Amino acid sequence: MFDRILIANRGEIACRVARTARRMGIHTIAVYSDVDAGALHVGACDEAHRLGPAAPRESYLRGDRIIEIAVASGAQAIHPGYGFLSENEAFAAAAAEAGLVFVGPPPAAIRAMGSKSESKDIMFKAGVRLVPGYHGVDQNDALLAREADGIGYPVLIKASAGGGGKGMRIVERGVDFAAALASARRGAKAGFGDDKMLLEKYLDEPRHIEMQVFADTHGHCVHLFERDCSVQRRHQKVLEEAPAPGMTRERRNEMGSAAVAAARAIGYVGAGTVEFIVDKTGLFHFMEMNTRLQVEHPVTEMIPGLALVEWQMRVAAGEPLPLLQEALDFYGHAIEARIYAEDPERGFLPSIGRIAYLAVPPVSEFVRIDTGVRAGDEISQFYDPMIAKLVAWGEDRASALRRLRSSLASYQVAGVTTNISFLQRVVAHPAFANARLDTGLIARHQTELLAPPAAPSPQILAVTAIGEFLRLVEEAQQQAQASEDRFSPWHDLDPWWLNSASHAISLTYLALGLTHEVRLRTNGGDILVSIAGAAGAAEVDLTATASRRAKGMAITLDGVQLSATVVPLGDQRYVFVDGQLQKFSLVDPLAHASVDEHRGGHLTAPMSGTIVAVLVKAGDAVAKGAPLIILEAMKMEHTIAAPAGGTVSAVHYRQGDQVSEGVDLIDVDATDVGASGAAASAA
C-alpha cells in the first residue's frame, strides 16, 4: 500500500478521498487554486500545494503541474476524484511515465470509453445491447438527417464527447433536426472541444439504472449492484438510490453480467460504472461507461457497507479485490440527494456567492453528508456549485426516505439560493414516494415541484419580526455591556424592555413583490403581534413568547411551540421554520431606494458568461417569448427571451463578448403591458 498520495481534485470528493486515505494511514497531499487556498479539502489533507489561478485550466486541469508536485512531494499515487482529470487518458499516461500510480483504469480503457461513439462499437462487439441509433464516423449533416428519419422521431442528438447531461438535444420532428444539430454542434464545440455527434432513438419514459463494477489486476471483475438514477432534471441526476426499486434478482444478475462483460471487454481495472437505459418493457440498453468513481457512489457504499475508495487504493496498489462476487451482498436501501447552490425559480442557474450561514442535520450511521464547503465559503463561478450530497439509509426504502426527508428539513443554508426546497418537494411527491420512477418524473410534475412559493403565513411573519426584535434586544444588551455608564438603563434592558407596555416596533417586510406590516408590542413577558392584512385580508393578532436558544430561538405562538432560525443578511431575512425556508427583505423606511422601481425593458445577464449568438438587431419587432440573445455560462446555453412583445431599441453586446452578471444586454420597448425583467431559461 502507498504511504503518500496526492489528491488531484477539490470539494467534497477531495475531502472524501482524504478521509479514507487518512483512515488507512496514508499521508495525503492536496492541491488548490488561489480561490481554494482556505478550502475544506486543503485542511482535510496533511499538506497542500498551490496550483495557480482559479480557472480550472490554470489549476485543477494543469496535469503537468500536478505531476510535478506529486513527484516533488514524494507521492506514490494520484487519486483524480471525478471530473477534472479523472477521465483524461493523457494525464493517466503521463502520471505512469513519471513513476506514479494513477488510481483509476489503464489509459487504454479511458480512451475506449472516452468517446460515446467508439464505446458503442466496443460494446456492440462484446454483445451488450445498444439503443437503436447512429454512431458512425461520417458526420455529414445530410447523412445524419437521413439516419434520424430512419431511427424515427423523437431522436436524441448527443455529443460523442459529452457528459454530465450536457450536449444533448431532443428532436421531436424532422423539420427541427437541422437547427437542433447546428445548436448541438455549437454547444459541443464550446463545451467539449469536439462536435462529433451521435444519434439515438429517444426512449419514452425510460429509467436510468447503472451498475457499479470493480476489477483488479489479477483478472477478477465484480459488480456491486445497481443504482437507480432516474430522477433527473434536464438529464442531470437529482436523486440516486440503491437498490433500484422493483429490481428482481434475475434482472440484476443479467445487468451485472452485461456490465462485467463491458468492463472485461476493455481490460478494465478499478472502479467504473456501466450506465444502462431501461425502456418501459424492462429491456436494458448500454448507454456509456464512466471510467472513474461516480458522484453517487455513496449509495452503493451504504448498502453493502463497503468503502469504494479503499477498494480503489487496494486495487491500485496491486492487491486483489477484497471480496469476490459470491461474497458480495447488500442490505437495506440508500437514497442520495444532491444539494446544489442553484435557483430553481431561475431555471436552476447556479447561485454564486458566500454561504453566510449553514446548519446541517445530525449525521449518524444512517445519515451521511459528503461536503466540501463550510459556512463562510464562497460558491464561485469557476466550479461545480454542489454544496453537499445528503445520503440516508434505512432497512427499506420507506425508512430511508423518511430519514432523507427529515434531514432535508433541517439542512439550512443562507447566503446562496439552494435547491433544498425543490428536493423536499420531489421526495415528498407521491410519484417518488411510491417509486414510480422514470427520467420524466420531474418534468411531468414540474408545475407542482416548481410551484411558486406560497405567500407567507401570519405565523412566519410573526416569527420573522420576533427574530428581529430579539436581535435588537441582544444588540442593546451588548451595547449596555460595552457602556461605561453603570447606571445606563441598557444594563437591565431585558425586563425593562419586556415590561414596558408602551414599547412597540413596526416592521415592514417584502416577499414576492408584496409588503407586509408587522407590529410588535410587549406586554409583561408576552409579545403581542399584529399583522396588517395584505391585499384586503383582515388583520391577524397573535400572542407570543420567545427566547434565544443556542441554535435559533424557541417561540410559542398562540400556544403552539416552534423552533425557528432567522438569519439576517443585509436587508435579507432567511427564516427557517418547520423545515421550510421563507425569504424576506426588511424594508427600511429611511432608505430611498424604492422597491418597485422597475427595470422597464432592460434585459440583463442572469449570470456572467459569453454571448454566443445575438439573434436580433435594433429596430426589430419581437413577439413575446422570442429568443433574443444566447448566453453561454457554466457550460450551458441560456436563452434571453423577450418578456413581452415590442421593438428592440438597443443591443449592447456582440457575439463573442464576455459579460458580467447584471449588465444590460438588450433593451426592448414593450408594446404589451407588464414587461419587466429578463426571462432566462437554461437551454
Contact residues for ligand ADP, defined by CB under 6 A: 131, 156, 158, 162-166, 200-203, 206, 208, 232, 235, 275, 277, 287-288, 439
Rg (the chain; Cα; Å): 28
Closer CB to ligand ADP, 20 or 291, in the complex: 291
Which of 315/426 has CB closer to ligand ADP? 426
Ramachandran area for residue 375 (φ above 0: left; ψ -120 to 50: alpha; else beta)? beta
Candidates 185, 140, 143; CA nearest to 160 is 185
Nearer to ligand ADP, 134 or 411 (CB): 134
- Which residues, at least 6 apart from 198, have a Cβ–Cβ distance to it below 8 Å? 116, 117, 120, 133, 134, 135, 157, 158, 160
What are the Cα distances from residue 567, in Å, to 212, 255, 476, 514, 523? 41, 49, 18, 20, 26
- Which one of the listed residues 292, 346, 405, 425 is annotated catalytic? 292
State in angstroms the smallest separation of the CB of 133 from ligand ADP: 7
Phi and psi torsions of 672, nearest 5°: -80, 155
CB of 135 to ligand ADP, least distance (A): 12
Closest approach of ligand ADP to the CB of residue 206, in Å: 5
In the bound state with ligand ADP, the residue whose beta carbon lies nearer, of 288 and 301, is 288
Q: Which of 565, 238, 594 is nearest to 409 (CA)?
A: 565
Beta strands, E only, 243-354: 270-278, 284-290, 333-340, 342-343, 349-350, 353-354
For the CB of residue 192, give the shortest distance to ligand ADP in the complex, in Å.
10
Cβ–Cβ < 8 Å for 369, 377: no
**CB 644 to ligand ADP: min, Å:** 34
Residue whose CB is less far from ligand ADP, 59 or 212: 212
C-alpha cell at 317: 496498489
Closest CA to 239 of 271, 207, 268: 207
Of 111 and 158, which has the nearer Cβ to ligand ADP?
A: 158
Write the CA distances from 487 to 482, 483, 503, integer angstroms. 13, 9, 21
Strand partners, 139: none
User: Greatest CA span in the chain, whole angstroms?
Assistant: 90
Residue 208 CB, nearest approach to ligand ADP (Å):
4
- 645 is written with which cell numbers? 412583445
Q: Is 403 an active-site residue?
A: no
Kindly state the smallest distance separating residue 274's Cβ from ligand ADP, in Å: 11
Q: Which is nearer to ligand ADP, 161 or 546 (CB)?
A: 161
Q: Measure the CA–CA gap between 652 and 648, rounded to whole angstroms.
A: 11
Q: Is residue 154 reached through a cis peptide bond, with omega within 30 degrees of 0 on the bond before it?
A: yes
Catalytic positions: 292
